[in-house]
């Protein structure tokens, strides 16, 4: 596709439920990143992938959060036993490769609301 | 650890006036600095970045920023703003990877 695509754009779920958020990166981009943006704050790093492997998952807040990228393209962020504090916009970005000389392109995000 | 401060949460300015959005950072290592813009209901878009070399960096849409190592600042400027510049602006720092540390953002409102 032309840009990074995230689905769904909006997700409302009940506290305690499981959710999956999908990210389709730009074709050919090997690096993929997940960020979380809470209301009134800047994006907060969660995890990034180089190919299929998670190169850095130090930003995941706890073990309820998990992300995969099994074929090195599409990624899924999975949240178990959701809590109201998980409500935020989840942003995905991709870049051609990993490094400061390449631009990261962001998707429009998935707005998750836990009620 | 790295951190970014954007002192102004909101900046209102009249159309065609100049604007400066402030950004200060702290880091114990060499840094790379970025400004991103987020228009309503859209994803983040890179405005400009400082990696090395000239401290004055020019970006898209007429924006520029100046890296000041002694003041640990990377303020964003535009000499004449347009209504279409109304958006949220984020300053970010990286130590070389792509796990940016973002500031809280500054909402620029351009008034007619």
Q: How far apart are CA A15 and CA A80, in angstroms?
A: 10
State the Cα torsion B18-B68-A47-A97 to the nearest 10°: 90
Residue B48: beta bridge partners?
A: B35
| CA dist., res. B17 & res. B99, Å (int) | 34
**Nearest by Cα to B89 from B70, B74, B111:** B74
Q: How many angstroms separate the CA atoms of B112 and B110, rounded? A: 7
pLDDT in tens, B41-90: 888 999 999 988 889 999 999 999 999 999 999 999 999 999 999 999 99
The proportion of chain B whose per-residue pLDDT surpasses 90, expressed as a percent, equals: 79
Q: What is the mean pLDDT of residues A83-96?
A: 95
* Helices then strands, each counted (H, E), chain A: 0, 11
Chain B 18-37, residues with CB within 8 Å of chain A CB atoms: 32, 36
Average pLDDT, chain A: 93
- How far apart, in whole angstroms, are the C-alpha atoms of residue A89 and residue A87? 7
Report the residue of A10, A26, A43, A105 to disrupt the B interface, i.e. the one with the largest count of B CBs within 10 Å.
Answer: A43
Using omega within 30 degrees of 0 as the cis cutoff, is the peptide bond preceding A8 cis?
yes
Determine phi and psi for A111, rounding to 5 degrees.
-90, 110
Distance of alpha carbon B43 from alpha carbon B92, whole angstroms: 15
| Residue to test with chain A: of B98, B100, B102, B106, most A Cβ within 10 A | B98
pLDDT exceeds cutoff 80 at B30: no
**Which pLDDT score is estimated for A1?**
52
Contacts of B90 in chain A (CB under 8 A): 42-43
Q: Quick check: A100 and B51 CB within 8 A?
A: yes
Inter-chain CB proximity B98 and A107 less than 8 Å: no
Residue A64 above 80 pLDDT?
yes
């Amino acid at each position: 596709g032309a840009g990074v695509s995230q689905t769904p754009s909006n997700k409302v779920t009940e506290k305690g439920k499981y959710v999956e958020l999908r990210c389709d990166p730009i074709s050919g981009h090997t690096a993929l990143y997940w960020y979380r943006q809470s209301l009134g704050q800047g994006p907060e790093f969660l995890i990034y992938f180089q190919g299929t492997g998670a190169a850095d998952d130090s930003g995941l807040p706890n073990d309820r959060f998990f992300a995969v990228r099994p074929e090195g393209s599409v990624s899924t962020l999975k949240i178990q036993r959701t809590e109201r504090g998980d409500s935020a916009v989840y942003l995905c970005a991709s870049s051609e490769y990993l490094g400061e000389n390449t631009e990261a392109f962001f998707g429009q995000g998935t707005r998750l609301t836990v009620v | 650890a790295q951190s970014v401060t954007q002192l102004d949460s909101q900046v209102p300015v009249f159309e065609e006036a100049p604007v400066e959005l402030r950004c200060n950072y702290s880091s114990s290592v060499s840094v790379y600095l970025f400004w991103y813009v987020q228009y309503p209901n859209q994803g983040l878009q890179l405005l400009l970045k400082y990696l090395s070399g000239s401290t004055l960096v020019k970006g898209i849409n007429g924006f520029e920023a100046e890296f000041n190592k002694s003041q640990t600042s990377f303020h964003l400027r535009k000499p004449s703003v347009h209504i279409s510049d109304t958006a949220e602006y984020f300053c970010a720092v990286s130590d070389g990877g792509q796990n940016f540390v973002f500031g809280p953002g500054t909402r620029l409102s351009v008034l007619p």
